Structure 1
């Protein structure tokens, strides 16, 4: 069972990476609407369990525009998804 499960959504837009919804242990979820001009979304997670207090860290693509043609150029310009809460 997780003793800490925190995450942050990150959305790539023409202006760069924007923070989305988050979950912070002890504070719960903070929901945010996805930007209308997003082309790509990731969720960054940190999970710790009683069996292994060292955090398991993952970053996973959760959404990709089917019509955007500039995703690669935006990734080149703004870099990979932030790896932070």
Structure 2
């Protein structure tokens, strides 16, 4: 059973990566509307179980624009999604 599960959404826009909604243990969820010009969305998560002091950390793509032609260029310019809460 998880004793801590936290996550943060990250959205790639022409301005770079922008922080979105998040969940912080003990504080609940904070909802933030996605930028209208986002081209890619990721969620970074940390999960810590009661059986291990180490947290499992990972990120995954959750949304990709079918219209945007410049996703690869923006990824080259701003790099991969942040791996932080």
Separation in 2, partners of 1:67, 1:42: 17
Q: Which runs of 5+ in 2 are unaligned?
A: none
What is the RMSD computed on CA atoms of the aligned residues? 0.4
The residue number in structure 2 matching 1:62 is 62
| Structure-1-length-normalised TM-score | 0.98
SS at structure 2 position matched to 1:8: strand
Q: By how many angstroms is 1:43 displaced?
A: 0.1
Query: Structure 1 residue runs of 4+, over 4 Å off?
Result: none
Q: By how many angstroms is 1:8 displaced?
A: 0.1
Q: Which runs of 5+ in 1 are unaligned?
A: none
Q: By how many angstroms is 1:12 displaced?
A: 0.1
Count of paired positions = 85
Separation in 2, partners of 1:34, 1:67: 16
| Structure-2-length-normalised TM-score | 0.98
